């Protein structure tokens, strides 16, 4: 980074990353752990490789967690005690923000003033903490929402609960106070401006990346042997948290429709559901298994727990198609990871998924959540080897356009811009006061 403005260092040397409700140390795919965990972990490690120290503050959920844990060289995770040593539902967490904020401020108080150069908060709960820390420490606040309540509430799955007014108000406050807002796509950037009144010049669209060293093409026969699947199977896969928002039930209904149309597929069809209950899905953790039984496809559906990266790659390599039927996705990291493995994706045409999955190039987008439409799209890929091969050939080159290095390059520029703008604002206020 270059120096500017009376010797002020344009880029930060130490960043406080706030992630109240979920830790980058947790396994994505269950509870509240998902794409945001991956985002924080990957960008923090990329920052550390560039000589920037990163400290991630997250809520302690067990008395066995150490106060400090090393994620990787240069990246420290601080477990802040706030509330009971147990996972809490997101609607219970606002009551613990005061305690969490106190823990964050106390950690900084043990150091010389100016220890942290910048705050990057993730999700609105963290933004509330970041807003106060920003004013106390006199450093800029960069915020990434990851999901937006107003958008989620406009695209609810049937029977799902809307996000509370408390969250909507909290997001509006954070948008108003943050120095810079990072959106995953231009669509999300427009939503921040149009729905939340964000200043257009404060919003930056930066697409997430994919771990291109971990998610790579592999042998489908070998992957299927590793999972105990027949080599001639027609494999449809879903990976993510089991909750109405992610809509794995849409895949089950589509699979049942495929079998209704082609009963002979019953011997070969395998539907892999990888993940664990989360959010409102915790209220009926067996609902998906019960649905499979009701639809008469229990024999075709296999449930796997959340898988670490190497094993998740095996799932993607084994699949003919990876389905992402969510009602809303700010981006959809699973879609990119699957394509990086050379597997076509069929995704809902919502949120950032049209960026992650270019229609007709490396996958297909479905404009509805109707079983018939999803059965059409899945059949067009999984049951047509020529079409599948064409999409698969384009999947890897598309995914390679996205990397965590490129994401971090953009974040680094935003951090420098936010730091300089914040410093200038401070100096201007000082001149006016004089």
Q: Which residue ranges are tagged as binding site?
A: 21, 27-28, 32-37, 90, 123, 147, 167, 241, 246, 307, 316, 319, 329, 337, 343
- Structure tokens, 85: 């040593």
Known binding residues for 1D-myo-inositol 3-phosphate? 21, 32-37, 90, 123, 147, 167
In this structure, the dihedral spanned by the alpha carbons of residues 249, 250, 253 and 256, taken in order and rounded to 10 degrees, is -100
| CA 367 to each of CA 291, 328, 351: distance values in angstroms, whole numbers, following the listed order | 23, 12, 12
State the distance between the two ends of the chain, measured CA to CA, in whole angstroms: 31
Within 303-370, residue ranges assigned H as helices are 309-318, 333-340, 353-356
CA-nearest of 95, 64, 102 to 80 is: 102
In this structure, the dihedral spanned by the alpha carbons of residues 350, 354, 355 and 361, taken in order and rounded to 10 degrees, is 160
Which DSSP symbol is given to 105?
Answer: H
Q: How far apart are CA 184 and CA 207, in angstroms?
A: 5
Which DSSP symbol is given to 5?
Answer: T
Q: What are the residues whose beta carbons fall under 8 Å from the beta carbon of 252, sequence distance 6 or more?
A: 271, 288, 291, 292, 295, 297, 301
Pairing of strands 8-9, 3-4: antiparallel
Known binding residues for Mg(2+)? 316, 319, 343
Q: How far apart are CA 19 and CA 145, in angstroms?
A: 11
Q: Tell me the residue length of the chain.
A: 434
Q: Is 398 helix (H, G, I), strand (E, B) or coil?
A: helix
DSSP 3-state helix, strand, coil percentages of the chain (rounded to 5)? 45, 15, 35
Residue 149's φ and ψ, nearest 5 degrees, are: -60, -45
Which DSSP symbol is given to 244?
Answer: G
Residue 295 exposure: Cα atoms within 13 Å on the Cβ side: 25
Known binding residues for UDP-N-acetyl-alpha-D-glucosamine? 27-28, 35, 241, 246, 307, 329, 337
Q: How far apart are CA 17 and CA 57, in angstroms?
A: 6
Within 10 A of 225 (CB to CB), how many other CB atoms are there?
Answer: 14
């Amino acid at each position: 980074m270059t120096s500017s403005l009376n010797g002020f260092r344009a880029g930060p040397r130490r960043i406080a990353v706030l992630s109240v409700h979920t830790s980058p140390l947790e396994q994505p795919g269950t509870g509240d752990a998902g794409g945001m965990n991956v985002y924080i972990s990957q960008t923090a490690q990329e920052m550390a490789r560039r000589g920037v120290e990163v400290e991630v503050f997250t809520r302690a959920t067990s008395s066995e967690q150490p106060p400090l844990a090393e994620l990787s060289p240069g990246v420290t995770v601080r477990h802040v005690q706030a509330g009971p040593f147990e996972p809490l539902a997101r609607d219970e967490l606002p009551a613990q923000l005061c305690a969490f904020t106190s823990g964050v401020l106390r950690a900084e108080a043990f150091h010389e003033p100016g220890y942290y150069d910048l705050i990057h908060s993730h999700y609105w709960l963290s933004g509330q903490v970041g807003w106060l820390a920003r004013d106390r420490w006199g450093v800029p606040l960069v915020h990434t929402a990851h999901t937006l309540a107003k958008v989620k509430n406009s695209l609810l799955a049937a029977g799902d609960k809307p996000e509370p007014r408390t969250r909507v108000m909290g997001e509006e406050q954070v948008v108003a106070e943050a120095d810079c807002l990072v959106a995953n796509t231009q669509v999300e950037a427009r939503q921040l401006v149009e729905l939340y009144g964000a200043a257009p010049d404060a919003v930056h669209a930066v697409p997430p990346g994919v771990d291109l060293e971990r998610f790579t093409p592999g042998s489908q026969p070998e992957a299927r042997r590793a999972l105990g699947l027949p080599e001639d199977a027609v494999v449809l896969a879903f990976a993510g948290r089991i909750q109405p928002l992610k809509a794995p039930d849409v895949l089950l209904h589509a699979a049942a429709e495929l079998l209704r149309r082609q009963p002979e597929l019953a011997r070969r069809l395998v539907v892999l559901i990888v993940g664990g209950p989360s959010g409102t899905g915790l209220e009926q953790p067996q609902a998906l298994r019960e649905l499979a039984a009701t639809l008469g496809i229990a024999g075709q559906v296999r449930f796997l727990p959340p898988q670490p990266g190497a094993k998740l790659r095996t799932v993607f390599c084994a699949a003919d198609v990876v389905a992402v039927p969510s009602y809303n996705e700010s981006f959809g990291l699973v879609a990119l990871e699957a394509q990086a493995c050379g597997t076509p994706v069929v995704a809902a045409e919502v949120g950032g998924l049209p960026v992650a999955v270019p229609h007709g190039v490396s996958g297909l987008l479905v404009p509805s959540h109707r079983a018939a439409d999803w059965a059409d799209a899945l059949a067009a890929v999984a049951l047509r080897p020529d079409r599948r091969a064409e999409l698969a050939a384009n999947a890897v080159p598309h995914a390679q356009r996205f990397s965590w290095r490129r994401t971090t390059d953009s974040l680094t520029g935003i951090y420098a811009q936010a730091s300089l703008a914040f410093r200038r604002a401070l100096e201007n206020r000082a001149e006016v006061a004089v």
